[in-house]
Amino acid sequence: MGLVKKSRIKSPWVLHYDCTSCNGCDIETLACLTPLYDVERFGIINVGNPKHADILVVTGSVNKRNERVLRNLYNQMPEPKAVVAVGACACTGGIFKDCYNVLGGVDKVLPVDVYVPGCCAKPEAIIDGIMLAASKLEEKAEALKEAKAHA
Amino acid sequence: MDIVILKDILTVAATIILAPIIGGLLTGIDRKITARMQSRSGPPILQPFYDLIKLLGKERLIVNQTQMMFALGHLFFAVAALAMFMLGQDLLMILFIMAFSSIMLIMGAMSVRSPYSKIGAQREIVQIMAYEPVLILMVVGIFLSTGSFMIRPLFSDMFSFGKPLLYDLPLVFIAFIYVLTIKLRKSPFDFSTSHHGHQELIKGITTEFSGPQLAVIELTHWYELVLFLGLITMFFARPVWIGIGIALICYFCEIVIDNISARMTWKWMLQATWIVGIGVAMTNIIWLYLK
């Protein structure tokens, strides 16, 4: 079992979804893929396919239009999975919080595991957040197994 | 007689166990070298194994009943082709079984309703159209050169052919290396699915495979990789260690090509492969025939 646990931490595949971000956090997220930060050294791959992903990285606040898309993406990901909210907007809704069409942060729609604050969040912080989410995958898998045993 | 059968069984068992280890390590080294070429530090060498084990531990998202069967069929026929190669069976038969393995993957991708998966599968069919004639011509060339479709076991004391086949089939070998880029899903021919991140078809043919199914497909790639490097070894195998060295050099060249080229369109690939691949292989065969 230790091997699967280690592999989960060592190989978090990321799906990046831009809700209503101003693109600041997206640029910082994509900066993580560049040679300077090189997230592949942690085994992180930006897969762009919910069915292959372990971690959903969301930037920007959730509004009434993209809530459906966000839920759909999350539901297509196989367990165990985690959600990382990147940036002030994804954490709380940020400066768009009081807009008539904005629901707020990602946690209004999905169970968020890691909040990465900042406007925009620094690439180092984003990598830290993804690695923290990866270390949480194992306990999520355990909880899932227990829930299944009780059901 | 019994000892011969026992030896065969041991060869097959060793192939099934060792091939994925070699294939996985080579894939890891591939990713490391690729990263270094892009001035990144890259993942650890064991990264493909972490990916595989993680995928095996994921939830089974069942899209339909048959998808897993096709993925397993893809694996089974690839393993069968490699085992036959190591036992020194009929080369033509090995090619057909390899084609069967690819067809299984295509059927699996076609069995779902995702347009990405379907277009990926159609592109895979185009790829097969492109490389299969060249592979068949390679076998024809080997037949003309040796008078038989049979290959002897690679690691038997002496390789069956008196001299390396390369002396007779240099152009066929070049055509084979060309086609290998398609088979290994390297740029510029990685359009049915790609090993890295995004492409216009999400992940193309593997889009709808997830968790354990994707792990099975990844495992199949490792077996295929070993089989192809084995085929390169066959051209040079005297002594076999030089063959293995040259196979590794060819693999390194594939990595370089992967890194210096962008993805082309399927039309370009079909034209280029048919004109260059078939043309070069045919020239070699005509020369061999006249000799």
Report pLDDT digits (tens) over B25-65.
999 999 999 999 988 888 999 999 999 999 988 888 888 88
- Residue A138 and residue A8 in contact, taking contact as beta carbons nearer than 8 Å: yes
In this predicted structure, the answer to whether residue B105 has a pLDDT above a threshold of 80 is yes
ipTM passes above 0.90: no
Q: Which of chain B's residues have a Cβ under 8 Å away from the Cβ of A3?
A: 53
* Model pLDDT, residue B157: 43
Domain ranges across chain B: 2-290
In this predicted structure, the answer to whether residue B152 has a pLDDT above a threshold of 90 is no
- Residue A54 and residue A14 in contact, taking contact as beta carbons nearer than 8 Å: yes
* Model pLDDT, residue A1: 57
Query: Which of A29, A51, A140 to substitute to test the interface with B, most B CBs within 10 Å?
Result: A51
Using one digit for the tens of pLDDT, what is the confidence trace for A86-100? Answer: 999 999 988 888 889
CA-based max dimension of chain B: 60
* Model pLDDT, residue B112: 87
* Model pLDDT, residue B167: 79
* Model pLDDT, residue A70: 92
- State mean pLDDT over B231-247: 81
Share of chain B above pLDDT 70, in %: 92
Using pLDDT thresholds of 50, 70 and 90, give the confidence band for residue A132. very high
- State mean pLDDT over B2-26: 87
A35 and B38 in contact by Cβ < 8 A? yes
* Model pLDDT, residue B57: 86
- Rounded to whole angstroms, the Cα distance separating A62 from A51 reads 22
CA distances from B69 to B54, B65, B104, B112 (A): 21, 8, 9, 13
Question: Which domains does chain A possess?
Answer: 11-150 (3.40.50.12280)
In this predicted structure, the answer to whether residue B101 has a pLDDT above a threshold of 80 is yes
- State mean pLDDT over B237-249: 82
* Model pLDDT, residue B272: 87
B60 and A78 in contact by Cβ < 8 A? yes
Using one digit for the tens of pLDDT, what is the confidence trace for B193-216? Answer: 766 656 667 777 888 888 888 899
In this predicted structure, the answer to whether residue B291 has a pLDDT above a threshold of 70 is yes
- State mean pLDDT over A61-81: 91
In this predicted structure, the answer to whether residue A108 has a pLDDT above a threshold of 80 is yes
Q: Which of chain B's residues have a Cβ under 8 Å away from the Cβ of A79?
A: 58-59
Nearest CA in chain A to B50: A7
In this predicted structure, the answer to whether residue B240 has a pLDDT above a threshold of 80 is no
Closest CA relative to residue B179, chosen from B140, B130, B146: B130
Average pLDDT, chain B: 85
Q: Is B90 helix (H, G, I), strand (E, B) or coil?
A: strand
How close, in Å, is residue B112 to chain A by CA atoms?
A: 13
In this predicted structure, the answer to whether residue B154 has a pLDDT above a threshold of 80 is no
What φ, ψ does residue A19 adopt, rounded to 5°?
-75, -85
* Model pLDDT, residue B170: 86
**Is residue A14 within a helix (H) or strand (E), and if so which, with residue range?**
strand A13-18
Residues of A with CB under 8 A from a CB of B: 3-4, 6-8, 10-11, 33, 35, 38, 40-43, 45-49, 51-52, 54, 76, 78-80, 141
